Amino acid sequence: MSFGLEDVVATIRHRSDFSSRLCLAPMELRVEDDWIGRLLALWEGRRKGARLPSRADFDSVELMAMSRGRSHIVDTTADQPTGYFFRLWGSTVSLDRGADYTKVRLGGMPHTTMRDAAIEDYADVVATGVPAYQLVCHVQGFMPYSYARLLLPLASNGRQVDQVLVSINERDIPELMPAQPDQTFGEPNLRLVRDRH
């Protein structure tokens, strides 16, 4: 079965801000995201049959060397996704001029569409226990921000997700760029649109 772009783009809008995500199978990792692919292979290698790996299954030095400050660890033990918080925030992520969101809850993130998209996406990974690979474009306050993102579920008991390893590769996302100069990012072929006024 093949999917067209119109089947896999999710968008959230709030006034002039929006977040568009092209959701792909992890096996469809783009060449530009090769280091994320190595992280996925490492995660797969730490699985024990159907059991998910835990944070303790990873060597911190190896993880940090591989991601070079482009990964977050999200604690997902709260009852509601708005209560999930960043246990560790990637030190080289350029969002908000490199602000540190360590210990910030998802519900407290300042960017409405980016926050709402993250809440949806992280909650999906927690509920399913399945990795997610996404190409993402956000526009917040007329400032574009784009990246590839890999979400890897972690479970201390091997079953119930209690953390998500989020890896960000900041780059242009041609798949979500406007075809015409006067179009908005992600506008054509949308599957899910929510207005938040």
Q: Does 91 have pLDDT greater than 60?
A: yes
Rounded to whole angstroms, how far apart are CA atoms 80 and 155? 17
Task: List the domain boundaries for the chain.
Answer: 5-195
Q: What is the pTM of this model?
A: 0.80
For residue range 115-142, list pLDDT tens digits in order. Answer: 888 899 999 999 999 999 999 888 777 7
Fold designation for 5-195:
Beta-Lactamase (3.30.450)
* pLDDT on residue 130: 94
Edge-to-edge strand ranges of the sheet holding 17-24:
85-88, 71-75, 163-170, 143-154, 132-140, 17-24, 9-14, 192-195
Q: At 109, is the secondary structure helix, strand, or coil?
A: coil
Burial group, residue 193, by CB count within 10 angstroms (0-12, 13-18, 19+)? middle
Provide the pLDDT confidence category of residue 63 given band limits of 50, 70 and 90: confident
